Amino acid sequence: MEPLFLRGSQLLRRILCKERLCPWKFSATFLAAKLQPPLRSSPRASLCVGATAHPAAAGSHRGGSESLLAGHGAPRRFLAGTSFNLPPSAQFVARPVGVCSMMKLPVQTSPEGLDAAFVGVPLDTGTSNRPGARFGPRQIRAESCMVRTYNPSTGAAPFHSLMVADIGDVNVNLYNLQESCRQIREAYQKIVAAGCIPLTLGGDHTITYPILQAVAEKHGPVGLVHVDAHTDTGDTALGEKIYHGTPFRRCVEEGLLDCKRVVQIGIRGSSYTPDPYKYCRDQGFRVVLAEDCWLKSLVPLMGEVRKQMGDKPIYISFDIDGLDPAYAPGTGTPEIAGLTPAQALEIIRGCKGLNIVGGDLVEVAPIYDASGNTALMGANLLFEMLCALPRVKTI
Ligand SMILES: [Mn+2]
């Protein structure tokens, strides 16, 4: 009998030939998707990774005869009576079972047919202090196995409303920021061209600049709800114009932002100048300092933000360091006295009704957080962004 590894390598070679790919150009998620069993005939079909079907959707099936391994059932929709992807319930698939995709959603390599997609950008060579956000996407995906499908607090049922999948990671060049920005921009051009709303797992904040290049190319200058300890509107550092302290100045210079519709929330920390927010205010941004958020609900603020944003396209960029490091210590440039998780929920839920065309959750650097809570926070906040998207029904 042919050894298993030999058959595996032949299969791999066949895939590479068929896709005309060099071995260094594919990701683990690409391979995971390709090595799954063939698709069913649905035109919007995507692959099932890490999930057996819900028994309600597949009769009495419990890891039936077509499953090679527990948790790796044949591709199928998970929800009886709909064509949408539904993450598996832990009532039927144990949480640690399966390929580690965002919320254990199916992985597919293309944004075609998706209303929204989770995308990883594992870049951290734009960090100014502690590196480690390159591991953010993986850890957010790992912790996301705790996130369930409904949002009882808001009534949102995102997986009954939108076709969602994990489309893997952008293959960034960790040794070349400029090249990485090009790779990210080109990847997101394809995503938005497909009519798919990207929800990004970062990665340091540098990545928002090329993402917004692609988003603004499609939608025009966008409004921005930016949660962060820092304004990220520096000009240069060490003579470089691209790093995680400058993305929003680069966006302003390129006309990617509708500056009267930009709000920055949670801003704080020491600075090198007595008036560090002058540049932002001069552009027309609303800057909401952390002090102005302490010990209060942000629901009234978000009412004002909704008026500011109107009905034109907006983007949400959430730097996890906007939160207090007590809640999210796993990040590169922490600042004391930040927002609470409840305020983060108020901000994202307060965006419901806006014309959200994309969102990101950046700067999760898991190595500084033994508890895993920072990545867990990131996973939940990305789920909340999904719930706030247009066309998500409430029940
Ligand atoms: Mn930032």
Close Cβ partners of 18 (under 8 Å, ≥ 6 residues apart): none
> How remote is the CA of residue 11 from the centroid of ligand 1, in Å?
42
Given a contact cutoff of 8 angstroms between Cβ atoms, the answer to whether 83 and 98 are in contact is: no
Ligand 1 mean position, distance from CA 362 (Å): 7
**Do 381 and 361 contact (CB within 8 A), yes or no?**
yes
Q: Are 322 and 338 in contact (CB under 8 A)?
A: yes
Residue 160 CA to ligand 1 center (angstroms) comes to 32
Distance between CA atoms of 135 and 202, rounded to whole angstroms?
A: 9
Distance CA 179, CA 185 (A): 10
Give the angle subtended at the CA of 216 by the CAs of 391 and 322, to the nearest 5°. Answer: 75
Residue 161 CA to ligand 1 centre (angstroms): 31
| Cα 198 to averaged position of ligand 1 atoms, centre (Å) | 18
d(CA 240, CA 342) in angstroms, rounded, equals: 36
Predicted confidence at residue 81, as pLDDT, reads: 57
CATH superfamily entry for domain 116-388: Ureohydrolase domain (3.40.800.10)
C-alpha 43 – ligand 1 centre gap (Å): 39
Tokens of 287: 């800057």
In the sheet with 116-121, reading across from the earlier edge strand, the strands are 164-169, 116-121, 197-202, 355-362, 313-319, 222-227, 257-267, 286-289
Distance, CA 364 to ligand 1 centroid (Å)? Answer: 11
For residue 57, the model assigns a pLDDT of: 36
pLDDT of residue 69: 54
Token pair 């809570």 in the structure block, residue:
373
Tell me which residues have their CB within 5 A of the ion that is ligand 1.
205, 228, 232, 319
**Residues pairing with 313 in the sheet:** 355
pLDDT of residue 83: 85
Q: Give residue limits of the domains in the chain.
A: 116-388
Average pLDDT per run of 10 along the chain, which is 395 residues long? 41 42 38 35 35 35 42 45 88 96 97 98 98 98 98 98 98 98 98 98 98 99 99 98 98 98 98 97 98 98 98 99 98 98 99 99 98 98 99 96
Q: How far is residue 265's CA from residue 284's CA, in Å, rounded to a whole number?
A: 14
Coarse DSSP helix, strand, coil percentages of the chain, rounded to the nearest 5 percent: 35, 15, 50
**What is the CB neighbour count within 10 angstroms for residue 357?**
21
Radius of gyration of the chain (CA): 21
Instruction: Give the DSSP H/E element, type plus range, for residue 160.
Output: none
